[in-house]
Chain A
Amino acid sequence: MADVMALKPGVGGQAAPNYLTASRGLKSWLFTLDHKRIGVMYLASVLAAFLIGGVFAMLIRMELLTPGPTLMSAEAYNKAFTLHGVVMIFLFIIPSIPAALGNFALPLMLGAKDVAFPRLNLASYWLYLAGALMGVVAMVSGGIDTGWTFYTPYSSSTGGAVSLMTLAAFVLGFSSIFTGINFIATIHKLRAPGMTWFRMPLFAWSMYATAIIQILATPVIGITLLLLVMERVFNVGIFDPKLGGDPVLFQHFFWFYSHPAVYIMILPGMAVISEVIPCFSKKPIFGYKAVAYSSVAIALVSFLVWGHHMYVSGQTPVASAIFSFLTFLVAIPSAVKVFNWLATMYRGSISFQAPMLYAIAFLLLFAIGGLTGIVLGTLSVDVHLHDTYFVVAHFHYVMMGGTVIAFLAGLHYWWPKMFGRMYSEKWARISAALVFVGFNLTFFAQFLVGSRGMPRRYYNYLEEFQPLHIVSTVGSWVLAAGFFLMAGYLYASLRKPIDAPANPWGATGLEWQTSSPPSVHNFDHVPVVTTEAYAYATETEETTVGAR
Chain B
Amino acid sequence: MSETPVVIEQHGHAPFLQHHFHTAEQQADASKIGMWLFLVTEVLLFGGLFVGFAVMQSMHPEAFFAAHHHLDRTLGLINTLVLLVSSYTMVMAVDSARRGKQRALMIYLLLTLMFAAVFLGIKYIEYSHKFHEGLLPGKYYSHAGDTVPGQFMFFSFYFMMTGLHGIHIVLGMAAITWLCFRARRGDFSPAYYTPVDMVGLYWHLVDIIWIYLFPLLYLIQ
Interface residues of A (CB under 8 A from B): 112-118, 120, 177, 180-182, 184-186, 188-190, 193-194, 215-220, 222-224, 227, 230-231, 234-238, 243-246, 249, 253, 521, 526, 528
Contact = CB atoms under 8 A, between A and B. Distances in A.
B20 A118 contact: yes
30 contacts: A117-B30, A118-B20, A184-B37, A185-B30, A185-B37, A188-B29, A189-B29, A189-B33, A193-B2, A215-B40, A215-B41, A216-B40, A220-B44, A220-B48, A223-B47, A227-B52, A234-B139, A234-B140, A236-B138, A236-B157, A237-B56, A237-B138, A237-B152, A243-B153, A244-B60, A244-B150, A245-B56, A246-B59, A249-B52, A521-B19
A359 B2 CA distance: 34
Nearest to B136: A234
A462 B153 CA distance: 45
A294 to B, nearest CB: 23
B37 A215 contact: yes
The 3 A-B pairs of least Cβ separation, nearest first, read A223-B48, A234-B138, A236-B156
B34 A236 contact: no
Contacts of B19: 113-114, 521
Interface string B24-52: 00100110011001101110111111011
A327 B157 CA distance: 33
B26 A189 contact: yes
A238 B47 contact: no
A521 to B, nearest CB: 8
A254 to B, nearest CB: 11
Contact of B5 (A114, A180, A230, A528): A528
Contacts of A116: 20, 30, 33-34
Contact of A219 (B29, B42, B60, B157): B42
A113 B20 contact: yes
A118 B137 CA distance: 41
B55 interface: yes
Contacts of A238: 52, 56, 153, 156-157
A115 to B, nearest CB: 8
Given A113-B20, A230-B138, A234-B137, A218 B41 contact: yes
Interface in B31-89: 33-34, 37-38, 40-42, 44-49, 51-52, 55-56, 59-60
A117 B27 CA distance: 10
Contacts of A218: 41
Contacts of A217: 44
B154 to A, nearest CB: 10
Contacts of B150: 244
A215 B34 CA distance: 11
Contacts of B60: 244
Interface in B132-152: 137-140, 150, 152
A230 B160 contact: yes
B156 A181 contact: no
A526 B21 CA distance: 11
A112 B20 contact: yes
B139 A219 contact: no
A244 B156 contact: no
B14 interface: no
Interface of B: 1-2, 5, 8, 18-22, 26, 29-30, 33-34, 37-38, 40-42, 44-49, 51-52, 55-56, 59-60, 137-140, 150, 152-153, 156-157, 160
Contacts of B33: 116, 184-185, 188-189
B112 to A, nearest CB: 25
A114 B20 contact: yes
B45 to A, nearest CB: 4
Contacts of B18: 118
Contacts of A234: 137-140, 156
Given A216-B40, A218-B41, A220-B44, 7 more contacts: A182-B34, A237-B152, A238-B52, A238-B156, A244-B59, A244-B150, A528-B5
A51 B150 CA distance: 48
Given A118-B20, A227-B48, A193 B5 contact: yes
B60 to A, nearest CB: 6
Given A114-B20, A249-B52, A526 B29 contact: no
Contacts of B29: 188-189
B52 A219 contact: no
Contact of B48 (A182, A244, A253): A253
A255 to B, nearest CB: 13
Given A188-B33, A219-B42, A194 B139 contact: no
A233 B156 CA distance: 12
Contacts of B48: 219-220, 222-224, 227, 253
Nearest to A249: B55
A482 B32 CA distance: 46
A215 B26 CA distance: 22
B56 A219 contact: no
Nearest to B29: A189
B41 A223 contact: no
A190 B38 contact: no
Nearest to A526: B8
B11 to A, nearest CB: 10
B16 to A, nearest CB: 14
B44 A526 contact: no
Contacts of A521: 19
B30 A237 contact: no
Contacts of A185: 30, 33-34, 37
Contacts of A224: 48
Q: Which of A112, A177, A234 has the most CB of B within 10 A?
A: A234
